[in-house]
Amino acid sequence: MEQVTDYFGSLVFDDKVMKSKLSSDVYKSLKKTIQDGKELDISVANSVAQAMKEWAILKGATHFTHWFQPMTGITAEKHDGFISPDSDGRVIMEFKGKELVKGEPDASSFPSGGLRATCEARGYTAWDPTSYAFIKDKVLCIPTAFCSYSGEALDKKTPLLRSMQAINKQALRVLKLFGNENVTSIKTTVGPEQEYFLIDKDVYLKRPDLIYTGRTLFGAMPPKGQELEDHYFGVIKPRVQAFMNDLNEELWKLGILGKTEHNEVAPAQHELAPIFSTTNIAADHNQLTMEIMQKIAKKHDLVCLLHEKPFKGVNGSGKHNNWSISTNTGINLLEPGETPAENAQFLLFLTAVIKAVDEYQDLLRISVASAGNDFRLGANEAPPAIVSIFVGSELEEVLESIETGKPLASKQSNFLKIGVDVLPKLPKDTTDRNRTSPFAFTGNKFEFRAVGSSESISCANIILNTIVAEELSKFADILEKSKDFENDLHDLIKDTIIKHKRIIFNGNGYDASWIDEANARGLLNLKSTPEALPHYLDQKNIDLFTSHNIYTLSEIKARYEIAQEQYSKIVNIEALTALDMVNKYYLPSISKFANFLYESIENKKELGLEAKYETDVINKVSKASNEIYTLKLELENALSKTSTITKVEDLSLFLKDHVLTKMEEIRSVVDKAEMIVDKKYWPFVSYGDLLYSVN
């Protein structure tokens, strides 16, 4: 029987394969490109392409593609065959270096935010050699960046790589001050936990709202939801286990480190968690994971739902983004050390993150802003929209001691000098986890819990890398001029804690009183995407991105416009779907049921019998149908006004305030009607059918 170790990474052109397929000189040159970012010589590229093609053909591949991540939120690919015509009318299999390093997909139909005119179709993909090529469905996939004809980034990979470069540069400056001369590079690492729902395909196909929008726009809760909490970590059902087994095999063949799987809290909800990877590789792998989840589900007559809130009233799905910083020498910079110097270094990086999160709360909220995630944040165990940091009681005590100079409870001496006094050895788990916190320190990493399940993790990590790079840059500017490093370091950490401790909150983020307290602290409460997005163009944020070469001004404005347009398009599709369901299904069905009740009343009258049930219910359903019809007309009227709104920010706010609210009003009446209308007259399968369809 084949073991996992036999086929793990078998479809990846990884370092082991490169070492065996490439000459020593070509391999060394390629590794230098990967490690140092040096330009790849075309002769080396030709050799790599030849080896890659031969390896891929032996694995059954017939085509290659530049696999990239445009601003659609999903991946894109255009397949080209390896075949080229021969002089005798047959074909040969070719793949050249220029095809490896550069591609030219048509860019005209991808979101660009005005970076190019619609008539300008040209766009380029450029090989990212730091992320291994792989084979998917007999196609050699080459991870690439995607840019416009004039060089602007049109994807999510390019700015992510830029952000990794920025934090590497600034972190190295700081580490040199602590004497870490042997450290030559640092990388951020990520382990994104992926939540998702699995439902039966036949049931899914009976819900047009799920098909068109990914979420249920209507649906009354069944008698049982998640109240008993019996699904969480429960025995995995055979059909789901079969899906997970196939999923694991496909992921492992692609070298994706999927490790932990279990039932989540809501019925039909599950989770997959990988081992940490370098951030850009983790982002690539997560995009692949979502794609393969959906593909494998279909093989089992299931549908994998990645929407953040497919079912109202039960837990939504997130993607906990576990983020840390490590050196090429294997040191985690967010792990407390055992010596004074290590402790001081840890505290400096910790306070850099604290300061970054406080000063750029708006950007972190924007990085997880989407129409779907707006329904999830602050509901059913999702973190609130208010950004705060959980550090735990023991670490908070350390920070307070530095701020006040008072003794730690666990020590006799004052905590006055960072380099003299020793931070108490902190075990990995110093305190209980706080699942209500959007940004929690969990021993040696930060868990950003607000990321939505369908979103690319690139957005959140671009922001995290960049804002921390900014603070490390400011810290380095101060300390590089220091005449008394130990004292200046202590003062810097202390001053940072005093100025930014407002962002630290270890309490219950679900408690209503936290909203008032956060407001008193001056923290932002950006409840929706339309409220958050305008902050993208705040001058401090423009300065941040441009100073670290993450985005140009035109790229910032383009991303802002794309995000606004995407939100508006999604809400508009949802509203049109809701109207379609109301007009073609709900109102006619309720009317048919009312007619049935009317006939039943008349029949009972002829027999001289009372019709209490029929009379009571016909009044309720008649009232409901009238309300639904009135609200439907109001929704149609609201939608008609959107065509006159020209500014993207005005349109998204209007849709939030007038269209989504009207949709929710209609839903409320429809869902109440569902509770009293005979099931045989109800046009769609129920929540109970959806949530409990898989056995």
* Nearest residue to 232 via CA among 281, 271, 181, 184: 271
Q: How far apart are CA 256 and CA 106, in angstroms?
A: 30
User: If you average pLDDT over every residue of the chain, what do you get?
Assistant: 91
- Residue carrying structure tokens 């400096």: 348
Name the pLDDT band for 159 (thresholds 50, 70, 90). very high
* Contact present, 368 and 455 (Cβ < 8 Å): yes
Ramachandran angles phi, psi of 260, nearest 5°: -110, 135
Looking at residue 421, what is its pLDDT? 57
User: What domains does the chain contain, in order, with CATH numbers?
Assistant: 4-155 (3.10.20.70), 157-193+318-544 (no CATH), 194-317 (3.30.590.10), 566-691 (1.20.120.1560)
Relative to beta strand 258-263, strand 389-390 is unpaired
432 pLDDT above the threshold of 60: no
* Contact present, 94 and 82 (Cβ < 8 Å): yes
Q: For 52-91, give one letter per residue: b (16+ CB within 10 A) or e.
A: bbebbeeeebebbbbbbbbbebebbbeeeebeeeeeeeee
Rounded to 5°, angle at Cα 560 from 558 and 564: 115
CB half-sphere exposure, 14, CA atoms < 13 A: 11
Q: Which of 85-94, 189-198, 563-572 has the lowest mean pLDDT?
A: 85-94
Name the pLDDT band for 109 (thresholds 50, 70, 90). confident
Distance of CA 564 to the CA centre of its chain: 17
CB half-sphere exposure, 292, CA atoms < 13 A: 25
Q: Which of 67-81, 114-128, 392-406, 547-561 has the lowest mean pLDDT?
A: 114-128
* Contact present, 68 and 145 (Cβ < 8 Å): yes
Q: How far apart are CA 528 and CA 653, in angstroms?
A: 9
412 pLDDT above the threshold of 50: no
* Contact present, 195 and 318 (Cβ < 8 Å): yes
Looking at residue 650, what is its pLDDT? 97
The residues near 450 (Cβ < 8 Å, ≥ 6 apart) are 318, 364, 365, 368, 373, 377, 382, 383, 385, 387, 438, 439
Tokens of 340: 């004074």
* Contact present, 376 and 317 (Cβ < 8 Å): yes
* Nearest residue to 635 via CA among 671, 609, 661: 661
Tokens of 55: 């390896």
Looking at residue 413, what is its pLDDT? 44
Q: How far apart are CA 320 and CA 451, in angstroms?
A: 6
Q: What percentage of residues in the chain have a pLDDT greater than 90?
A: 75
Look at 120 and 165; give whichever has higher pLDDT: 165
The residues near 55 (Cβ < 8 Å, ≥ 6 apart) are 13, 17, 21
Tokens of 212: 């068109």
Residues 439-494 have pLDDT tens digits of 999 889 999 999 999 999 999 999 999 999 999 999 999 999 999 999 999 999 99
* Contact present, 364 and 544 (Cβ < 8 Å): no
290 pLDDT above the threshold of 50: yes
Look at 257 and 336; give whichever has higher pLDDT: 257
To the nearest 10°, report the CA torsion of 207, 211, 212, 217.
Answer: 40
* Contact present, 147 and 70 (Cβ < 8 Å): no
Looking at residue 184, what is its pLDDT? 93
Relative to beta strand 446-448, strand 439-441 is antiparallel
To the nearest 10°, report the CA torsion of 317, 278, 176, 439.
Answer: 0
Tokens of 54: 């031969």
Residues 573-617 have pLDDT tens digits of 999 999 999 999 999 999 999 999 999 999 999 899 999 999 999
Ramachandran angles phi, psi of 558, nearest 5°: -65, -45
Phi-psi region of 137 (alpha: psi -120 to 50; beta: other; left: phi over 0): left
DSSP 235: P
Q: What is the mean pLDDT of residues 258-276?
A: 94
Residues 16-62 have pLDDT tens digits of 999 999 999 999 999 888 877 677 788 999 999 999 999 999 999 99
- What's the predicted TM-score (pTM) here? 0.94
Residue 79 forms beta bridges with which residues?
65
Element (H, E) at 79: strand 79-81
Distance of CA 344 to the CA centre of its chain: 32
